[in-house]
């Protein structure tokens, strides 16, 4: 498909003989017989497993106010952004939805962080530059 | 029938009155054709913010969770019914969050820089 698109952009190919611009068949590398000393294509055995965010594998619920409060500012109660929490897209969305639900249903305070949870371990790096 | 979860916050009352309010709610649900699976008490706690309801300002409330299976048609009438009940501070119907959700997370898949550039909206 890419070759056809390329051909459409070069109408001069029909006027000029192929011998001048095409690579001669002898030197083309695609049709060559398979040789045993060529490298075997395999998956990188030293590749790292995919990076996991803090919440990978943890079920996020609107009732779990302690977990949700870890991603909220203690001073204003605003939800931290992705660059601060370091969560993957899916989990960040889930957390945001759960926090908003908890606000509306009367489980979590809105303007501040529940003082009970102020001494929880810090998951978010607030000093992270944008 | 789809499963729902009813998160209910009742006024902070004495035990017999709370029991009566819950009984009323569950009976109303069953009357409309819901099957109540489980009723959990999350305890009486102070509300995260003061809630004004039915001409009263509430600071404490009893949190209850009703696990039920119901036809979708009863959600609106049930919300109306609970809205008229003076003992209910806040009511919320949600689709029941199933526990199987968390197993499929495969970690952060790195996006190659070419894909990032080609998908930019600008």
Which of A91-100, A120-129, B43-52, B74-83 is predicted with the least confidence, judged by mean pLDDT? A120-129
Q: What is the pLDDT of residue B59?
A: 94
Q: Rounded to whole angstroms, how far apart are CA atoms A75 and A109?
A: 12
Q: How confident is the model at residue A5 (pLDDT cuts 50, 70, 90)?
A: low
Across chain B, what does the average pLDDT equal? Answer: 87
Q: Rounded to whole angstroms, how far apart are CA atoms A71 and A78?
A: 9
Q: Are A57 and B105 within 8 A, CB to CB?
A: yes
Question: DSSP letters of A35-95?
Answer: -TTSPPP---TTPPPPB--TTTTPPP-TT-HHHHHTTB-TTT-PBP-HHHH---HHHHHHH
Q: Are B106 and A58 within 8 A, CB to CB?
A: no
Q: Rounded to whole angstroms, how far apart are CA atoms A106 and B48?
A: 6
CB pairs under 8 A between A and B: 59
Q: Are B105 and A90 within 8 A, CB to CB?
A: yes
| Position with higher pLDDT, A17 vs A69 | A69
| Position with higher pLDDT, A17 vs B43 | B43
What is the ipTM for the molecules in this complex? 0.84
Strand duo B35-53 + B56-69: pairing: antiparallel
Give the closest of B7, B106, B107 to A105, CB-based.
B7
* Residue of B41, B82, B105, B109 for testing the chain A interface, max A β-carbons within 10 Å: B105
Reading the block at residue B52, the tokens are 């004004």
> Using a CB-CB distance cutoff of 8 angstroms, which residues of chain B are in contact with residue A49?
107
Q: Does the pLDDT at position B121 exceed 90?
A: no
- B101 shares contact with chain A (CB less than 8 Å): yes
> Using a CB-CB distance cutoff of 8 angstroms, which residues of chain A are in contact with residue B97?
59, 61
A51 forms beta bridges with B108
Whether the CB-CB separation of A88 and B108 falls below 8 Å is answered with yes
Q: Rounded to whole angstroms, how far apart are CA atoms B114 and B66?
A: 49
Which of A39-53, B28-42, B99-113 is predicted with the least confidence, judged by mean pLDDT? B99-113
Q: Does the pLDDT at position A12 exceed 90?
A: no
Give CB contacts under 8 A, 24+ apart, made by B71-75.
B71/B1, B71/B33, B71/B34, B72/B2, B74/B29, B74/B32, B74/B33, B74/B34, B75/B4
Q: What's phi and psi for B43, nearest 5 deg? A: 95, 165
| Position with higher pLDDT, B95 vs A128 | B95
Average pLDDT on A97-106 reads 94
Q: Are A110 and B49 within 8 A, CB to CB?
A: yes
| pLDDT tens column, B4-41 | 999 999 999 999 999 999 999 999 999 999 999 989 99
């Amino acid at each position: 498909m890419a070759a056809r698109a390329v051909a459409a952009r070069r109408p001069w190919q029909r006027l000029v003989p192929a011998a001048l611009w095409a690579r001669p068949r002898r030197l083309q590398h695609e049709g060559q017989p398979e040789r045993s000393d060529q490298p075997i294509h395999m998956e990188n055995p030293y590749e790292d497993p995919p990076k996991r965010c803090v919440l990978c594998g943890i079920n996020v619920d609107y009732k779990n106010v302690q977990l949700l409060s870890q991603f909220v500012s203690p001073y204003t109660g605003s939800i931290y952004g992705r660059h601060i929490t370091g969560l993957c897209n899916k989990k960040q969305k889930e957390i945001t939805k759960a926090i908003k639900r908890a606000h509306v249903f009367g489980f979590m305070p809105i303007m501040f962080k529940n003082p009970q949870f102020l001494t929880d371990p810090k998951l978010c790096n607030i000093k992270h530059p944008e | 029938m789809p499963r729902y979860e009813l998160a209910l916050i009742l006024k902070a009352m004495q035990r017999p009155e709370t029991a009566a309010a819950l009984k009323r709610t569950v009976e109303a649900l069953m009357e409309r054709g819901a099957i109540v699976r489980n009723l959990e008490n999350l305890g009486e706690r102070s509300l995260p913010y003061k809630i004004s309801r039915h001409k009263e300002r509430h600071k404490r409330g009893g949190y209850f969770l009703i696990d039920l299976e119901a036809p979708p048609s009863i959600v609106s009438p049930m919300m109306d019914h609970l809205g008229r009940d003076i003992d209910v501070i806040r009511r919320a119907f949600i689709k029941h969050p199933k526990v199987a959700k968390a197993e499929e997370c495969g970690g952060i898949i790195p996006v190659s820089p070419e894909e990032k550039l080609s998908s930019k909206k600008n």
